[in-house]
Structure 1
Amino acid sequence: MNAKLSFGAIALIAALGACSQKSQDTTTNAVTDIGSDISNTTSNAVDTATSATSNALDAAGNALNPTPTGQEFADKAAKSDAFEIAAAKLAKTNAESADVKKFAATMIEAHTGSTAKIKAAAAKATPAIKPDPTLTSDLQSKLDDLGKLKGADFDKAYIDGQVSAHEDALSLMKSYADKGDTPSLKTAAGEIAPKVQEHLDMAKKLKK
């Protein structure tokens, strides 16, 4: 009788242990599933928020820096070329470094060429566009200040200005080539952009 009771007690304990293990496994699985759901939900929420933020920033950027019209682009390109040519001509007499003078000569040739390309593309627009190369007061002021310098001081100011000017020009060309509203000018901008990149790389090397 005692043996039967003892055996029954052992069986009961084993059953309770198995039940407890199943309960523990079920709880563990439930916690794991909940954790996975929370992780996925959080990840999706973060991705959604990041995408929304990125879109908002793009929209804000476009609002602050809208793509110029064909006329505005042609005018900006013409003024940029006119400034580059005028500054490079100053380098012929005011620069000290042979490398700076060589760079300036390249700028005169290259920007004379881009001026012609923009004019030709603008003429193909409907209605035709006539670029205005008249320097803004800001560009004229920069040119006047540059003309007051000689030798090493000129070289530094000129090359620093070239890096900045070509960064702006590259941004303008890439932006218009991507989103411009005048097909002929979009094509011209796309063709000019790689040359501007080359000039920017040259200017950065001279700056170092």
Structure 2
Amino acid sequence: MKYRLLISAAAALALSACGGGTDTADADAVATDTAMAGDTTTATPAGADASAMTAQAFADKQAASDMFEIEAGKLAQSMGKSQAVKDFGTMMVTEHTKSTADLKAAAGQARGATVTPKLDAMQQSNLDALKNAGDQFDATYKQQQVQAHEMALATLQGYAQNGDTEVLKQFASKTAPVVEKHLAEARGLN
């Protein structure tokens, strides 16, 4: 899987360099997918080029991130081995449901941005891995949560600083500290 992601990333970069139609959002998605798979040595942070994101690209990325957190949180509530993982999962469902509602409200004020949560292929793959993690659920969940929150934080901070739509920049600024708190708590899960 790691090699397939590297090949996908190389192909996206080659197409981008040749004007083959891969835009910044696609390249960012490849970087996100690569990092979510655990290969952070070749991935760029998901928010590294958030300044080039359109309002819609940001809304799509944030909605997918929230959806992943909600679905993974539900799995943690039912499949987690430790009470800390179950409690963290409950918090993820609650707080990322609120984040999605806040994103929808902000996007409603932004012209041309809609919120339609849809997991990307790597997020779906990570959920599938969680479902099949068995005794390794807690460790797999922690690893995925750290990576997902690192990427979400980078995207939020990047868009807050350089985004193209003020109301979504405000949403990103307000949401980044919450995600930063989640990241610290994810890192502390045992």
- TM-score tier, shorter chain, comes to 0.7 to 0.9
Q: Larger % of helix: which?
A: 1
Instruction: Report how far residue 66 of structure 1 moved.
Output: 5.1
Partner of 1:137: 121
Partner of 1:46: none
Partner of 2:105: 120
Partner of 2:156: 173
Deviates more, 1:153-162 or 1:133-142: 133-142
Partner of 1:7: none
Asked whether the equivalents of residues 173 and 190 of structure 1 are also in contact (C-alpha less than 8 Å), the reply is: yes
Instruction: Report how far residue 150 of structure 1 moved.
Output: 2.6
Do structure 1's residue 72 and structure 2's residue 54 form an aligned pair? no
Runs of 4+ in 1 over 3 A off after TM superposition: none
Partner of 1:98: 83
Identity of aligned residues (%): 44
Pair member with larger Rg: 1
Do structure 1's residue 160 and structure 2's residue 111 form an aligned pair? no
Partner of 2:178: 195
> Residue type matched to 1:146 in 2?
L
Q: List aligned pairs for 1:142-153, cutoff 5 A.
A: 142-151=126-135, 153=136
Instruction: Report how far residue 132 of structure 1 moved.
Output: 2.4
> Residue type matched to 1:85 in 2?
I
Tell me the matched-pair count. Answer: 143
Scaled by the length of structure 1, the TM-score of the pair is 0.66
Partner of 1:39: none
Residues in 1 aligned to 2:50 and 2:147: alpha-carbon distance in whole angstroms: 20
> SS of the counterpart of 2:174?
helix
> Residue type matched to 1:92 in 2?
Q
> Residue type matched to 2:117 in 1?
P
- Show structure 2 runs of 5+ residues with no match: 1-44
> Residue type matched to 1:137 in 2?
A
Instruction: Report how far residue 130 of structure 1 moved.
Output: 0.9
Deviations 1:21-56 (A, max 9, x none): xxxxxxxxxxxxxxxxxxxxxxxxxxxxxxxxxxxx
